[in-house]
Amino acid sequence: MSQQQFLNVIDVDEAQRRFRDALTLRPLAKQQVALEEALGRVLAEDVVARGDVPSFDRSNYDGYAVRAADTYGAEEEAPRRLRLLDDVLATGVVPQGHVADGTAMAIATGGMLPRGADAVVMVEHTSPGEDATILVTRAVTPGFGVSFAGTDVTAGETVLRRGQMLGSRETGVLAAVGADRVAVWRRPVVAILSTGDEIIEPGQPMRPGLVYDSNARILADAVRELGGLPKPLGIVHDDLDQLRTRLREALVAADVVLLSGGTSKGAGDLSYRVVGELSEPGIVAHGVALKPGKPICLAAHRGKPVVILPGFPTSAIFTFHEFVAGVIRLLGGRPPAAASSAETRMAVRVNSEIGRTEYLLVGLVEGPAGLTAYPMGKGSGSMTAFSGADGFVTIGRHEEIVEAGAPVTVQLLAGDLRLADLVVIGSHCVGLDFLLGRIQDLGIATKFMAVGSTGGLQAAGRGECDLAGVHLLDPATGQYNVSLLLPGLELIEGYGRLQGVVFRPGDPRFEGRDAAEAVARAKDDPDCMMVNRNQGSGTRILIDRMLSDRQPAGYAVQPKSHNAVAAAVAQGRADWGVAIEWVARHAGLGFLPMEEERYDFVVPKARLDRPAVVAFRRLLAEPDVREALTRMGFRMQSRF
C-alpha cells in the first residue's frame, strides 16, 4: 500500500485563519420557541417587560394591612388599638374595601394591599382586642412588609439581553414577566459521518481488526454541550460513491459537516479525496503542526464548515475543540468559551517533538508544593486517557523537553477543577479496582494513575498522593516493600498475590512445565512472542530478573496492567506474559506459578488522618471486603 505525504503542514494559527476566512460566521437565524423549550437556548432579542412585577402592592407577611401612622408609639406596655374590618385578604383576592384612619384589614402573605393601607403589621406583633379590635404592640413605618408594584420589574424594563443563555433562573424571569414564547437563535445542525471498513456500532459483536465507533458518540454529545443539534449519519464503509452521496446529503441537511477518519492519504483513506472535490473554496488546510491531530483536514463549501477529523479518538476530540467547537458556538449565537486554567508543575520529565504544538493530557494531584501534573498519555487512540484527565498542557512547537518540576499552565477540560478525595498512584491491581469501587460507593471520589510501583513510591515520597500501590522486592532482604520505605512514609498492609506465566491452554511450550523451564525455552524461541510490562512496575522488575538481560520477541510491547497482558495472550497477539493468578483464571488462561509477592499501600504520614485514607483503611479491615478479596485469589494473612 502506498501513502502520500502531507504536502503542506502548516501551524495552528495559520490553519485557524484560513478556515475561518472561508466560513460565514454569524448566528444562523431567529426562531420563536415556547417557554418550556427555551432552556439552554440563546436569546436572539432583548426581553422587555410588558407590565410591572409584581403587578400590585403585595404583602410580605401574614398580618394586618394598616396605615403606618396609626401604629406610631405602639409597644408591649402601650399597644395601639385598631378596629378590625370584616374583609380577609387571601391571595388572589381583590380588596373591595379600603383602610381608613384607625382601622386594619387581615391579609395573607402574597395578598393584595387594600387602598388606604401603606404597611403591614406582622401577626405576631398583634393580639386580639375586645369588640372586633386588634392590639398592635410594635410600630411600623410606611412600606414595611410591602412589595410595591414594580419593585422587581417595571413595565418597559429590559430584563434579559440578546446573547444570554437561558438557564433555569432566566426562564424563571421570562415566566415572571408573562412571556410564553421567546426569540432565540436557531441551533446549528451538525452532521456526523464515521468512515472506514474497520468501524462498527457499539453493541455489535467484536471481531479482530475492528473497533467500536466511539468518535460519533463523543462528537454528538460534545455538539449538544455546545448548544448544537447532532445529526448522526452512521458509518460509511470505504466506498467512494457512497461517501460522495452521503456528503452531498449532509451538506443539504446540516450547517456543519464532520467526517471522522479517512483524513490521511493511505490507499483506504477516502474522506480527503471526496472532500477534495469541493471547490467553493474546498480544502483550505490539510495537515497541521499539531500533536495529536496532525492529519486534520479543514474545508468549506459556500461558507459551510466541512471538517475531516482524525480517526484516533484523542486526536479527533482535540482537533474538534481546537477548530470546530468555537464555530458551533458562533453559529448558535453563543459567546466564545471562557478558558479555565490552573498553574502547576510537571511531575516527570516529558519529551516532545520539535516542529509540532503538542497537547499533553494530564491528571492533577495536590502535593505539599501545590498542584502537580501527571501525563496521562496512552497515545492518540486512547479514549480513557481523555475521560480520566483533568486538563492538558500545551507544549510549543519549538520545545523539545519539559523538565520535571517545570511550571506549566493546565487548561482545564471541565471548566472547573474538583480534585479527587482519594488519589492513588502506582501499580495497577484488580484488587485495587475492587477496593476503589467500594470506596466510591461511600461517596468518596477517587483517582488512580498507573505509573508502576517505582513511580508510585516516588510520588508518595513527594507527598503527591494519598496511597501508592506497590509490590517491590528488595533483593538484599528478600522482603517486599517494607525495607524500601522512604522517610515520612508508612505502610498499610495489603494482601499477597501469586505472579506467574500466563499462556493459552494446550500450548505444548508451556503446558505441564514449571515457570522457570517454560521461560528458559520461550526466551530462546524467536517464534514464541511475549508481552512485557511497563518500566517501573514491580512485575517488570520480576520479568527482567527472570530473563537475565535477554529481550525475547515481544519484549518492547509494554502494557500497563495485568488485564492487558492476559488480553494479549488470549487474543493470540502474544504467546506468554506475566500476570497474577486471578487475572489468568478470569481470562481462561493457563498459569504457571512463579512467586508470591505482597501488594501493599504506601501512605505519606502527613496524609494518614485524611478522611478518605481513614475510610480506606477501615474498608480494608472489613470482614466482607477481606472475604471478597480472598475469593479473588488474594491472600489476606498478615506477614508480621
Which residues does residue 286 pair with via DSSP β-bridges, in sequence order? 297
Query: Within a domain: residue 437?
Result: no
Kindly report the CATH number assigned to the domain that includes residue 323: 3.40.980.10
Grid cell locating 33:
420557541
Query: Within a domain: residue 432?
Result: no
The SS3 assignment for 135 reads strand
Kindly report the CATH number assigned to the domain that includes residue 373: 2.40.340.10
- Mind giving me the DSSP string for 455-509? HHHHHHHTT--SBEEE--EETTTTEESGGGPPTTEEEEEEEEEEEEEEE-TT-TT
Kindly report the CATH number assigned to the domain that includes residue 583: 3.40.190
407 and 543, same structural domain? no
Please tell me the distance from the alpha carbon of residue 376 to that of residue 357, in angstroms, as a whole number.
17
Grid cell locating 84:
378590625
Sign of CA dihedral 293, 206, 438, 453: negative
Please tell me the distance from the alpha carbon of residue 352 to that of residue 290, in angstroms, as a whole number.
11
* Residue 596 vs residues 255, 473, 540, 566: alpha-carbon distances, Å: 61, 11, 15, 18
User: Domain boundary residue among 297, 331, 365?
Assistant: 331
231 and 170, same structural domain? no
Extract the runs of DSSP E, i.e. beta strands, from 74-228: 80-89, 103-107, 119-122, 126-128, 133-136, 146-147, 158-160, 181-185, 189-195, 199-200, 211-212
Strand bridging mode 189-195 / 256-260: parallel
17 burial level (CB within 10 Å; 0-12, 13-18, 19+): middle
At how many degrees (to 10) do helices 430-440 and 611-621 cross?
Answer: 120
160 and 257, same structural domain? no
* Residue 367 vs residues 329, 348, 595, 606, 614: alpha-carbon distances, Å: 37, 14, 35, 11, 18
Question: Among residues 356, 353, 340, which one has the least CA distance to residue 296?
Answer: 356
400 and 366, same structural domain? yes
Asked whether 466 and 603 are in contact (CB, 8 A), the reply is: yes
pTM for the whole structure:
0.78
626 and 524, same structural domain? yes
Grid cell locating 266:
493511505
* Residue 472 vs residues 171, 175, 466: alpha-carbon distances, Å: 59, 64, 18
Cβ-proximal residues to 309 (8 Å cutoff; 6+ apart), any chain = 215, 219, 258, 259, 260, 261, 263, 296, 315, 316, 319, 320, 324
DSSP state for residue 196 in the 8-state scheme:
-
State CA 180 to chain mean position distance. 34
Please tell me the distance from the alpha carbon of residue 480 to that of residue 473, in angstroms, as a whole number.
4
Query: Within a domain: residue 455?
Result: no
Q: Is 156 left (phi over 0), alpha (psi -120 to 50) or beta?
A: left
Asked whether 137 and 74 are in contact (CB, 8 A), the reply is: yes
Please tell me the distance from the alpha carbon of residue 519 to that of residue 511, in angstroms, as a whole number.
12
614 and 527, same structural domain? yes
Which residues does residue 183 pair with via DSSP β-bridges, in sequence order? 32
Query: Within a domain: residue 192?
Result: yes
User: Domain boundary residue among 160, 185, 210?
Assistant: 185
Using 50 as the pLDDT threshold, list the residues of the chain that sit under it: 1-6, 267, 381
Asked whether 604 and 366 are in contact (CB, 8 A), the reply is: no
Kindly report the CATH number assigned to the domain that includes residue 176: 3.90.105.10
DSSP state for residue 322 in the 8-state scheme:
I
Domain boundaries, position 472: 468-640
Query: Within a domain: residue 305?
Result: yes
Q: Specify the number of domains making up the chain.
A: 5
346 and 230, same structural domain? no
| Phi, psi dihedral angles at 428 (to 5 degrees) | -80, 145
User: Domain boundary residue among 331, 362, 387?
Assistant: 331
**pLDDT tens readout for residues 231-270:** 999 999 888 899 999 999 999 999 999 998 765 555 456 8
Which residue blocks in 140-234 are alpha helix, DSSP H? 168-176, 214-225
* HEC assignment per residue over 357-425: EEEEEEEEEEECCEEEEEECCCCCCCCHHHHHCCEEEEECCCCCEECCCCEEEEEECCCCCCCCCEEEE
Asked whether 243 and 237 are in contact (CB, 8 A), the reply is: no
621 and 482, same structural domain? yes
246 and 378, same structural domain? no
Please tell me the distance from the alpha carbon of residue 115 to that of residue 144, in angstroms, as a whole number.
16
Query: Within a domain: residue 366?
Result: yes
Kindly report the CATH number assigned to the domain that includes residue 112: 2.170.190.11
Please tell me the distance from the alpha carbon of residue 192 to that of residue 341, in angstroms, as a whole number.
30
Q: Specify the pLDDT at position 267.
A: 47
Grid cell locating 32:
420563536
What single-letter amino acid sits at 523? K
The helix (run of H) or strand (run of E) holding residue 601 is strand 590-604
Rg (the chain; Cα; Å): 35
518-526: long-range contacts at Cβ-Cβ below 8 A with a sequence spacing of 24 or more?
518/576, 518/592, 519/546, 519/547, 519/576, 522/552, 522/575, 522/576, 523/547, 523/550, 523/552, 524/552, 525/552, 526/553
DSSP state for residue 77 in the 8-state scheme:
S
237 and 137, same structural domain? no
248 and 281, same structural domain? yes
Q: Specify the pLDDT at position 354.
A: 86
Query: Within a domain: residue 599?
Result: yes
262 and 371, same structural domain? no
Query: Within a domain: residue 611?
Result: yes
The helix (run of H) or strand (run of E) holding residue 565 is helix 562-570
Grid cell locating 116:
388606604
Please tell me the distance from the alpha carbon of residue 105 to that of residue 344, in angstroms, as a whole number.
65
The SS3 assignment for 14 reads helix
Grid cell locating 82:
385598631
